[in-house]
Protein backbone atom coordinates (compact mmCIF):
# COMPACT_ATOMS: atom_id res chain seq x y z
CA UNK A 1 0.00 0.00 0.00
CA UNK A 2 2.76 2.41 1.04
CA UNK A 3 4.80 1.60 -2.07
CA UNK A 4 1.72 2.21 -4.23
CA UNK A 5 1.27 5.63 -2.64
CA UNK A 6 4.98 6.37 -3.21
CA UNK A 7 4.69 5.27 -6.87
CA UNK A 8 1.61 7.46 -7.33
CA UNK A 9 3.41 10.38 -5.74
CA UNK A 10 6.32 9.83 -8.12
CA UNK A 11 3.95 9.80 -11.07
CA UNK A 12 2.47 13.21 -10.24
CA UNK A 13 4.42 15.38 -12.62
CA UNK A 14 4.68 19.07 -13.01
CA UNK A 15 5.09 20.95 -16.28
CA UNK A 16 8.87 20.66 -16.23
CA UNK A 17 8.64 16.91 -15.63
CA UNK A 18 6.38 16.57 -18.66
CA UNK A 19 8.76 18.67 -20.73
CA UNK A 20 11.73 16.55 -19.60
CA UNK A 21 9.78 13.37 -20.37
CA UNK A 22 9.30 14.51 -23.93
CA UNK A 23 12.88 15.81 -24.21
CA UNK A 24 14.40 12.59 -22.92
CA UNK A 25 12.13 10.40 -25.00
CA UNK A 26 13.96 8.66 -27.80
CA UNK A 27 12.87 6.14 -30.38
CA UNK A 28 13.88 2.52 -29.78
CA UNK A 29 17.22 1.58 -31.32
CA UNK A 30 16.99 -1.27 -33.85
CA UNK A 31 18.96 -4.38 -32.89
CA UNK A 32 20.70 -4.62 -36.31
CA UNK A 33 22.76 -7.64 -35.28
CA UNK A 34 23.90 -6.12 -31.99
CA UNK A 35 22.58 -9.01 -29.87
CA UNK A 36 24.11 -11.59 -32.25
CA UNK A 37 27.50 -9.88 -32.01
CA UNK A 38 27.41 -10.00 -28.21
CA UNK A 39 26.24 -13.62 -28.16
CA UNK A 40 29.04 -14.61 -30.56
CA UNK A 41 31.56 -12.84 -28.31
CA UNK A 42 30.21 -14.77 -25.31
CA UNK A 43 30.32 -18.07 -27.19
CA UNK A 44 33.93 -17.42 -28.23
CA UNK A 45 34.79 -16.69 -24.61
CA UNK A 46 33.03 -19.85 -23.44
CA UNK A 47 34.96 -21.95 -25.93
CA UNK A 48 38.23 -20.35 -24.89
CA UNK A 49 37.39 -21.04 -21.26
CA UNK A 50 36.51 -24.66 -22.05
CA UNK A 51 39.65 -25.19 -24.10
CA UNK A 52 42.00 -23.38 -21.76
CA UNK A 53 41.77 -26.02 -19.02
CA UNK A 54 42.58 -29.07 -21.20
CA UNK A 55 45.32 -27.14 -22.99
CA UNK A 56 46.82 -26.02 -19.68
CA UNK A 57 46.67 -29.58 -18.32
CA UNK A 58 48.21 -30.98 -21.50
CA UNK A 59 50.99 -28.41 -21.50
CA UNK A 60 51.55 -28.96 -17.80
CA UNK A 61 51.86 -32.71 -18.34
CA UNK A 62 54.28 -32.29 -21.22
CA UNK A 63 56.43 -29.78 -19.36
CA UNK A 64 56.31 -31.55 -16.02
CA UNK A 65 56.77 -35.08 -17.31
CA UNK A 66 60.59 -35.07 -17.56
CA UNK A 67 61.22 -33.23 -14.24
CA UNK A 68 58.69 -35.47 -12.49
CA UNK A 69 60.36 -38.55 -13.94
CA UNK A 70 63.77 -37.29 -12.77
CA UNK A 71 62.37 -36.63 -9.30
CA UNK A 72 60.86 -40.06 -9.06
CA UNK A 73 64.10 -41.66 -10.23
CA UNK A 74 65.97 -39.71 -7.56
CA UNK A 75 63.49 -40.83 -4.93
CA UNK A 76 63.74 -44.41 -6.14
CA UNK A 77 67.54 -44.12 -5.92
CA UNK A 78 67.23 -42.85 -2.33
CA UNK A 79 65.01 -45.80 -1.47
CA UNK A 80 67.65 -48.15 -2.84
CA UNK A 81 70.34 -46.61 -0.62
CA UNK A 82 68.23 -47.04 2.54
CA UNK A 83 69.23 -50.00 4.72
CA UNK A 84 66.49 -52.43 3.78
CA UNK A 85 66.98 -54.60 6.84
CA UNK A 86 65.56 -51.75 9.02
CA UNK A 87 62.40 -51.53 6.96
CA UNK A 88 59.98 -54.34 7.47
CA UNK A 89 57.49 -54.06 4.65
CA UNK A 90 55.82 -56.86 2.78
CA UNK A 91 57.55 -57.92 -0.37
CA UNK A 92 56.48 -55.90 -3.40
CA UNK A 93 55.00 -53.09 -1.30
CA UNK A 94 57.36 -50.42 -2.65
CA UNK A 95 55.88 -49.63 -6.05
CA UNK A 96 57.96 -49.59 -9.15
CA UNK A 97 58.64 -46.25 -10.86
CA UNK A 98 56.58 -47.08 -13.94
CA UNK A 99 53.59 -47.95 -11.76
CA UNK A 100 53.85 -44.66 -9.88
CA UNK A 101 53.98 -42.67 -13.10
CA UNK A 102 51.10 -44.68 -14.57
CA UNK A 103 48.98 -44.17 -11.44
CA UNK A 104 49.72 -40.44 -11.44
CA UNK A 105 48.73 -40.11 -15.06
CA UNK A 106 45.55 -42.10 -14.45
CA UNK A 107 44.59 -39.82 -11.57
CA UNK A 108 45.17 -36.69 -13.66
CA UNK A 109 43.26 -38.17 -16.62
CA UNK A 110 40.43 -39.20 -14.30
CA UNK A 111 40.14 -35.70 -12.84
CA UNK A 112 40.26 -34.21 -16.32
CA UNK A 113 37.60 -36.65 -17.58
CA UNK A 114 35.29 -35.91 -14.65
CA UNK A 115 35.64 -32.21 -15.28
CA UNK A 116 34.78 -32.65 -18.96
CA UNK A 117 31.71 -34.71 -18.01
CA UNK A 118 30.66 -32.03 -15.54
CA UNK A 119 30.93 -29.35 -18.26
CA UNK B 1 5.69 -8.26 -11.04
CA UNK B 2 4.71 -7.69 -14.68
CA UNK B 3 4.53 -10.51 -17.24
CA UNK B 4 7.58 -9.06 -18.99
CA UNK B 5 9.57 -9.05 -15.75
CA UNK B 6 8.52 -12.64 -15.02
CA UNK B 7 9.68 -13.68 -18.49
CA UNK B 8 12.96 -11.86 -17.90
CA UNK B 9 13.45 -13.75 -14.64
CA UNK B 10 12.73 -17.07 -16.37
CA UNK B 11 15.32 -16.27 -19.02
CA UNK B 12 17.82 -15.28 -16.34
CA UNK B 13 17.19 -18.60 -14.57
CA UNK B 14 17.90 -20.47 -17.81
CA UNK B 15 21.13 -18.53 -18.33
CA UNK B 16 22.33 -19.10 -14.76
CA UNK B 17 21.38 -22.79 -14.60
CA UNK B 18 22.71 -23.93 -17.96
CA UNK B 19 24.74 -21.06 -19.45
CA UNK B 20 22.08 -20.80 -22.16
CA UNK B 21 23.43 -18.27 -24.68
CA UNK B 22 20.14 -18.30 -26.64
CA UNK B 23 18.24 -17.16 -23.53
CA UNK B 24 20.83 -14.47 -22.93
CA UNK B 25 20.51 -13.42 -26.59
CA UNK B 26 16.78 -12.98 -26.01
CA UNK B 27 17.49 -10.83 -22.93
CA UNK B 28 19.84 -8.68 -25.00
CA UNK B 29 17.27 -8.30 -27.79
CA UNK B 30 14.68 -7.19 -25.24
CA UNK B 31 16.83 -4.61 -23.47
CA UNK B 32 19.57 -3.50 -25.88
CA UNK B 33 17.60 -0.43 -26.93
CA UNK B 34 17.22 0.82 -23.34
CA UNK B 35 20.86 0.16 -22.50
CA UNK B 36 22.20 1.73 -25.70
CA UNK B 37 19.93 4.75 -25.33
CA UNK B 38 21.02 5.17 -21.72
CA UNK B 39 24.71 4.98 -22.65
CA UNK B 40 24.27 7.25 -25.66
CA UNK B 41 22.84 9.91 -23.38
CA UNK B 42 25.65 9.44 -20.88
CA UNK B 43 28.50 9.43 -23.38
CA UNK B 44 26.81 11.63 -26.01
CA UNK B 45 28.57 9.53 -28.66
CA UNK B 46 26.77 6.67 -30.41
CA UNK B 47 29.77 4.51 -31.32
CA UNK B 48 31.38 4.81 -27.86
CA UNK B 49 28.01 4.03 -26.32
CA UNK B 50 27.58 0.92 -28.47
CA UNK B 51 31.07 -0.33 -27.55
CA UNK B 52 30.24 0.24 -23.90
CA UNK B 53 26.90 -1.52 -24.35
CA UNK B 54 28.72 -4.60 -25.66
CA UNK B 55 31.06 -4.51 -22.66
CA UNK B 56 28.06 -4.01 -20.40
CA UNK B 57 26.37 -7.18 -21.69
CA UNK B 58 29.64 -9.10 -21.35
CA UNK B 59 29.87 -7.97 -17.71
CA UNK B 60 26.20 -8.80 -17.25
CA UNK B 61 26.86 -12.34 -18.50
CA UNK B 62 29.61 -12.77 -15.92
CA UNK B 63 27.66 -11.15 -13.09
CA UNK B 64 24.28 -12.73 -13.80
CA UNK B 65 24.54 -15.35 -11.03
CA UNK B 66 24.67 -12.38 -8.64
CA UNK B 67 21.30 -11.02 -9.81
CA UNK B 68 19.02 -11.53 -6.83
CA UNK B 69 15.79 -11.23 -8.84
CA UNK B 70 14.25 -8.81 -6.33
CA UNK B 71 14.04 -5.78 -8.62
CA UNK B 72 13.52 -5.48 -12.35
CA UNK B 73 16.11 -6.94 -14.68
CA UNK B 74 16.38 -3.67 -16.62
CA UNK B 75 17.17 -1.83 -13.37
CA UNK B 76 19.96 -4.29 -12.64
CA UNK B 77 21.20 -4.07 -16.24
CA UNK B 78 21.34 -0.27 -16.09
CA UNK B 79 23.38 -0.58 -12.91
CA UNK B 80 25.89 -2.73 -14.82
CA UNK B 81 25.80 -0.21 -17.69
CA UNK B 82 26.42 2.70 -15.33
CA UNK B 83 29.33 0.88 -13.66
CA UNK B 84 30.79 0.09 -17.09
CA UNK B 85 30.45 3.75 -18.06
CA UNK B 86 32.15 4.94 -14.85
CA UNK B 87 35.00 2.46 -15.30
CA UNK B 88 35.59 3.59 -18.88
CA UNK B 89 35.42 7.21 -17.78
CA UNK B 90 38.04 6.58 -15.08
CA UNK B 91 40.30 4.93 -17.66
CA UNK B 92 39.83 7.87 -20.03
CA UNK B 93 40.61 10.31 -17.22
CA UNK B 94 43.81 8.46 -16.35
CA UNK B 95 44.77 8.53 -20.02
CA UNK B 96 44.10 12.28 -20.16
CA UNK B 97 46.21 12.81 -17.03
CA UNK B 98 49.09 10.88 -18.55
CA UNK B 99 48.80 12.90 -21.75
CA UNK B 100 48.64 16.14 -19.76
CA UNK B 101 51.74 15.15 -17.79
CA UNK B 102 53.47 14.41 -21.07
CA UNK B 103 52.58 17.90 -22.27
CA UNK B 104 49.87 16.93 -24.73
CA UNK B 105 46.34 18.26 -24.80
CA UNK B 106 43.95 15.42 -24.22
CA UNK B 107 41.34 14.64 -26.84
CA UNK B 108 38.67 14.83 -24.18
CA UNK B 109 39.52 18.45 -23.52
CA UNK B 110 39.55 19.26 -27.20
CA UNK B 111 36.09 17.75 -27.50
CA UNK B 112 34.72 19.70 -24.54
CA UNK B 113 31.08 20.47 -24.96
CA UNK B 114 29.91 23.99 -25.46
CA UNK B 115 26.42 25.13 -24.64
CA UNK B 116 24.89 27.75 -26.86
CA UNK B 117 22.10 29.17 -24.75
CA UNK B 118 20.90 31.42 -27.55
CA UNK B 119 19.40 28.50 -29.40
CA UNK B 120 16.35 26.55 -28.33
CA UNK B 121 17.54 24.15 -25.61
CA UNK B 122 17.62 20.53 -26.75
CA UNK B 123 18.49 17.37 -24.87
CA UNK B 124 22.21 17.55 -25.68
CA UNK B 125 22.45 20.95 -24.06
CA UNK B 126 20.43 19.88 -21.08
CA UNK B 127 22.74 16.94 -20.55
CA UNK B 128 25.84 19.08 -20.95
CA UNK B 129 25.08 21.15 -17.86
CA UNK B 130 24.64 18.09 -15.65
CA UNK B 131 27.32 16.12 -13.82
CA UNK B 132 27.77 12.42 -14.68
CA UNK B 133 25.78 11.39 -11.64
CA UNK B 134 22.96 13.83 -12.32
CA UNK B 135 22.88 12.83 -15.97
CA UNK B 136 22.68 9.12 -15.11
CA UNK B 137 19.90 9.66 -12.58
CA UNK B 138 17.93 11.98 -14.86
CA UNK B 139 18.24 9.62 -17.83
CA UNK B 140 17.17 6.65 -15.70
CA UNK B 141 14.20 8.62 -14.44
CA UNK B 142 13.00 10.43 -17.56
CA UNK B 143 14.29 8.29 -20.45
CA UNK B 144 14.08 4.81 -18.93
CA UNK B 145 11.10 5.42 -16.63
CA UNK B 146 12.74 3.83 -13.59
CA UNK B 147 11.21 4.50 -10.17
CA UNK B 148 13.26 6.26 -7.49
CA UNK B 149 13.71 2.91 -5.74
CA UNK B 150 15.04 1.29 -8.93
CA UNK B 151 17.39 4.23 -9.54
CA UNK B 152 18.56 3.92 -5.95
CA UNK B 153 19.35 0.23 -6.53
CA UNK B 154 21.07 0.96 -9.82
CA UNK B 155 23.27 3.78 -8.56
CA UNK B 156 23.80 2.66 -4.96
CA UNK B 157 22.48 6.03 -3.80
CA UNK B 158 19.85 6.30 -1.06
CA UNK B 159 16.33 7.06 -2.33
CA UNK B 160 16.44 10.50 -0.66
CA UNK B 161 19.67 11.32 -2.49
CA UNK B 162 18.14 10.19 -5.80
CA UNK B 163 15.26 12.59 -5.23
CA UNK B 164 17.60 15.45 -4.38
CA UNK B 165 19.82 14.69 -7.40
CA UNK B 166 16.73 14.85 -9.65
CA UNK B 167 15.64 18.08 -7.98
CA UNK B 168 19.14 19.55 -8.38
CA UNK B 169 19.28 18.47 -12.03
CA UNK B 170 15.95 20.08 -12.72
CA UNK B 171 17.06 23.26 -10.97
CA UNK B 172 20.25 23.37 -13.04
CA UNK B 173 18.30 22.94 -16.25
CA UNK B 174 15.78 25.55 -15.15
CA UNK B 175 18.41 28.14 -14.24
CA UNK B 176 20.70 27.47 -17.22
CA UNK B 177 17.92 27.69 -19.76
CA UNK B 178 15.66 30.11 -17.92
CA UNK B 179 12.71 27.75 -18.17
CA UNK B 180 9.44 28.93 -16.75
CA UNK B 181 6.90 26.29 -15.81
CA UNK B 182 4.04 28.00 -17.60
CA UNK B 183 5.92 27.96 -20.90
CA UNK B 184 5.68 24.19 -21.13
CA UNK B 185 2.58 23.54 -19.09
Helix H or strand E encompassing A29: none
Q: Are residues B50 and B127 in the same domain?
A: no
Residues in chain A: 119
Angle subtended at Cα A19 by Cα B185 and Cα A12, rounded to the nearest 5 degrees: 75
Q: What is the pLDDT of residue B179?
A: 61
B155, B183 contact by CB (below 8 A):
no
Q: What is the pLDDT of residue B110?
A: 43
Asked if the structure places residue A107 within a domain, the reply is: yes
Q: Are residues B2 and B58 in the same domain?
A: yes
Asked if the structure places residue A24 within a domain, the reply is: yes
Asked if the structure places residue B185 within a domain, the reply is: no
Q: What is the pLDDT of residue A43?
A: 92
Q: Are residues B23 and B95 in the same domain?
A: yes
Q: What is the pLDDT of residue B1?
A: 57
- Of the residues B11, B28, B139, the best mutation for testing chain A's interface (the one with the most A CB atoms within 10 Å of its CB) is B28
B73, B67 contact by CB (below 8 A):
yes
Q: Are residues B47 and B78 in the same domain?
A: yes
**Listed residues B104, B131, B149: the one ending a domain:** B104
Asked if the structure places residue A71 within a domain, the reply is: yes
Rounded-to-integer distance, Cα B124 and Cα A117, Å: 54
In B, which residues are within 8 Å of A45 by CB distance?
58
Angle subtended at Cα B67 by Cα A21 and Cα A11, rounded to the nearest 5 degrees: 25
Q: Are residues B135 and B156 in the same domain?
A: yes
Rounded-to-integer distance, Cα B117 and Cα B176, Å: 8
**Listed residues B104, B121, B152: the one ending a domain:** B104
Q: Which domain holds residue B130?
A: 113-179
Contacting A with CB below 8 Å, chain B residues are: 19, 21-22, 24-25, 28-29, 32-33, 36-37, 40-41, 50, 53-54, 57-58, 61, 122-123, 126, 138-139, 142-143, 147-149, 170, 173-174, 179, 181-185
In chain A, % helix, strand, coil (3-state, to 5) comes to 80, 0, 20
Rounded-to-integer distance, Cα B96 and Cα B177, Å: 30
The tens-digit pLDDT sequence of chain B (185 residues) is: 567 777 888 999 999 998 899 999 999 999 999 999 999 988 888 999 999 999 999 999 999 998 888 888 999 999 999 999 999 988 888 777 777 777 765 454 444 444 444 444 577 777 888 888 898 999 898 888 888 998 998 888 999 999 999 999 888 888 877 665 544 43
Give A51-80 pLDDT, tens digit per residue. Answer: 888 888 888 888 888 888 888 888 877 777
Asked if the structure places residue B184 within a domain, the reply is: no
Asked if the structure places residue B16 within a domain, the reply is: yes
Percent over 70 (pLDDT), chain A: 72
Residues in chain B: 185
Residue A90 pLDDT grade (very low, low, confident, very high; cuts 50, 70, 90): low
Q: Are residues B26 and B98 in the same domain?
A: yes
Percent over 90 (pLDDT), chain A: 13
Q: Are residues B7 and B90 in the same domain?
A: yes
ipTM for the whole complex = 0.72
Number of domains in chain A: 1
Torsion of CA B55, B59, B62, B68, to 10 degrees: -150
Asked if the structure places residue A6 within a domain, the reply is: no
Q: Count the neighbouring beta carbons within 10 Å of the beta carbon of residue B38.
A: 29
Q: Which domain holds residue A73?
A: 14-82+91-118
**Listed residues B49, B74, B104: the one ending a domain:** B104
Please give the residue that has the higher pLDDT: either A15 or A92: A15
Which CATH number do you get for residue B85? 1.10.1740.10
Q: Is A58 helix (H, G, I), strand (E, B) or coil?
A: helix
Amino acid sequence: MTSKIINMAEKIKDAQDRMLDSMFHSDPIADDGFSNRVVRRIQRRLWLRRLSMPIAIGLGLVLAFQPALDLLQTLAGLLDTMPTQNISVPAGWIPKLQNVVLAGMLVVTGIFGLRMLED
Amino acid sequence: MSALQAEDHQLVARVVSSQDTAAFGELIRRHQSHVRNFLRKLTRDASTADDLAQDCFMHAWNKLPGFSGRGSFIGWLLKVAYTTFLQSKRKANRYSEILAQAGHVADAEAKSYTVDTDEVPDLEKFLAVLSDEERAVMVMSYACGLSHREISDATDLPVGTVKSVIYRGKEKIRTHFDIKDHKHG
